[in-house]
Amino acid sequence: MMNRRDLIATAGALAATSALSEAAWAKAPLPPLPIETVDVDLTADVGALAHIWSECVGSDRAGLTMREEWRIDAKRAYKEAGIKRVRFHGIFNDDEMAVRPKGAIGAAGQSFNFQNVDTVYDGVLETGMKPFVELSFMPSKLASGTANFGTYRGNITPPASLDDWKAFVALFVRHLVDRYGAAEVHQWYFEVWNEPDLGFFWSGTQQQYFELYKASVEAVRSVDPSLKVGGPATSKVQWIPEFLAYCAQNSLPVDFVSTHLYAGDNQVKVFGEAGRYTQNEIYAAAMKQVSDQIAASAYKNAELWLGEWSSDSPAMIAHIIKGCMPYLKGMSYWQVSKFEEVLVPNFIFKEGDNAWGLFSARNVARPTFNTFKLLNRLGTRRLKAEGPALASRRAGGESAVMVWNLADAPQASGIPGANSVRKVVGEAKRYRVRLKGAKSGQTVKVSYVDMERGSPYPAWRALGSPQYPTREQLAKIRAAAELPAPHVLKLSATRELVIDLPPEGVALLELT
């Protein structure tokens, strides 16, 4: 099975045909459903429930953030899903003109221009989110070569001079602190590069990346010793022990360790053997592996960030998050808005597409966004729960419980249109949710998200699956994609609730 990065490398050969295999939930009578019990103890507080899933979200590149379409999506991600930060590539790309391709190098010259950089970060802050700063890619004027990546031609070569790079990064960070203030920038993270273990993102060697990290973090810390720095932002959890050993040997700061993982990644690279875990289990196992590597290093207190991950399956999202909770400070879902990294898709929706992103093009919410929206309604105290569930208490005392029906929904890639069929293996189930500590007859609001509810796909199909929806059609699709109003139910005399979920479906129970 191809993963996202294999497909990036061969994007030009992708086929455009596809077909989707979702069942139309609730449109036909169901046979007797298998029953699964979820036990929740509303009286048992088991500790803080850190919303690691809302710490960050990914995005394509810096230039994309200047579009109105992107900012609308980002504002909703912050306001409705509680997303705190956004991470994107290419703040130093030539299209941002931070370093002009021609002219003298040095603060005394006129080579540096942070007008577009300011527009990017002003816009991010206006959405409510904070930047998770990725120091990439290489300005042409500072580059040792011309190799580049993506539709935006980000230069992926090492600097011709580490001293010039270091001076530029220090000037950049000084500009940020002067413009936004130290108190604001102290809340940001500074990460060095993106996936340097992959040849199409970094043309240098591992050693050259380590040297880049050294120059970069020394530059950042020369401006303010308390700014957060980290890396190596590798794919498939690569290079972590080697990176930490190099940093220890050179007395370099590592406030956080960042790495990336996708469910379809090659498990030989991740774990040393193929087929060790299902796609539903790979994340928790890999994050434990990296957590153990950090614990064995000189940086035991470093935060662990899953800087890129994704799934288009609501239940899989919830399951992954629950499994990663013991290990992570934060997760950054890829991505907030539409994707143009290696191509500009010629469609908004497509059968079989692994629909990455909280929103599609034209600001249409996806089931992923509505799943994060429900997750944001969970409280900050975790309650004891047995089964496929996360239970919580809010600051005001109300309880909120998410329940899900996990299915096998393979995540092959992140390239739009790469998949021809989206095959889901699973069955509808009936969940008997027993709520110890609740009151008999208590009112419960139940909100659902699956591929039919809180989803644009049924409305899009009803309109004939248009490749280029009209403005009128888009308005209908947007409205249909929004989270439906909750069902209002009451607990039985035995303080139980019965709900039915299709494969991949999630439900949020809010006790009032």
Q: Percentage of the chain surpassing pLDDT 90?
A: 83
For the stretch 247-272, pLDDT in tens is: 999 999 999 999 999 999 999 999 99
Whether 36 and 387 have beta carbons less than 8 Å apart is answered as yes
pLDDT by residue (tens digit) across 139-161?
999 999 999 999 899 999 999 99
Beta bridge partners of 99: 112
pLDDT at 352: 85
> Cβ–Cβ contacts within 10 Å for residue 107, how many?
11
Average pLDDT of the segment spanning 403-414: 86
Mapped onto helix, strand or coil, the DSSP state of residue 294 is helix
- Summarize pLDDT for 224-249 with one digit per residue, the tens: 999 999 999 999 999 999 999 999 99
Q: Tell me: domain 13-45+381-511, CATH 2.60.120.560, correct? A: no
What's the whole-number mean pLDDT along residues 354-383?
A: 95
| Average pLDDT value for residue range 193-206 | 98
**Residue 445 contacts by C-beta under 8 Å, 6 or more apart in sequence?**
486, 487, 488, 489, 509, 510, 512
Helix/strand/coil for 379: coil
**Torsion from C-alpha of 228, 89, 243, 147, nearest 10 degrees:** -140
Instruction: Evaluate if residue 332 carries a pLDDT over 60.
Output: yes
Q: Which of 36, 110, 116 is nearest to 385 (CA)?
A: 36
Assess contact for 210 and 192: CB atoms under 8 A.
Answer: no
Angle between helices 367-375 and 68-81 (to 10 degrees): 30
Full 3-state SS string of 401-461: EEEECCCECCCCCCCCCCCCEECCECCCEEEEEEEECCCCCCEEEEEEECCCCCCCHHHHH
Cβ contacts of residue 355 below 8 Å, gap of 6+? 312, 349, 366, 368
Q: How far is CA 285 from CA 52, 53, 218, 326, in A?
A: 17, 17, 33, 11
Half-sphere exposure of 398 (CA within 13 A, CB side): 15
pTM of the model: 0.93
50-344 belongs to which CATH class? alpha beta
Please give the C-alpha separations between residue 128 and each of 60, 124, 166, 337, 357, in angstroms, as whole numbers: 18, 7, 30, 16, 19
Among 52, 51, 132, which residue's Cα sits nearest to residue 87?
132
pLDDT for 343 equals 83
Cis peptide before 335 (omega within 30 of 0): yes
The SS3 assignment for 99 reads strand
Cα–Cα distance between 66 and 33 in angstroms, integer?
Answer: 49
Say if residue 100's pLDDT is above 90: no
Exposure b/e, 38-57, CB count within 10 A at least 16 = b? bebbbeeeeeebebbbbbbb
Mean pLDDT, range 165-185, rounded to an integer: 97
Task: State residue 101's pLDDT score.
Answer: 61
Residues ≥6 apart with Cβ < 8 Å to 68: none
SS3 177: helix
Residue keyed to tokens 């129970």: 509
Q: What is the pLDDT of residue 5?
A: 55
Q: What is the pLDDT of residues 8-26, one digit of tens each?
A: 444 433 322 222 333 444 4
Q: Residue 200 has which token pair?
A: 């199409």
pLDDT exceeds cutoff 60 at 103: no
Lowest-confidence region among 321-325, 356-360, 379-383: 356-360
Look at 92-96, 97-101, 322-326, 333-337 and tell me which has the smallest mean pLDDT.
Answer: 97-101
Q: At CA 93, angle to CA 92 and CA 95, rounded to 5?
A: 125
pLDDT tier at 413 (50, 70, 90 boundaries)?
low
Q: Which one has a higher pLDDT value, 24 or 394?
A: 394
Q: Where are the domains of the chain?
A: 13-45+381-511, 50-344
The pLDDT assigned to 354 comes to 72
pLDDT at 99 (0 to 100): 83
Question: pLDDT tens across 486-497, in order?
Answer: 999 999 999 999
Percent of the chain clearing pLDDT 70 (strictly above):
91
Which pLDDT value is given to residue 339? 82
Characterize the bridge pairing of strands 148-149 and 130-135. unpaired
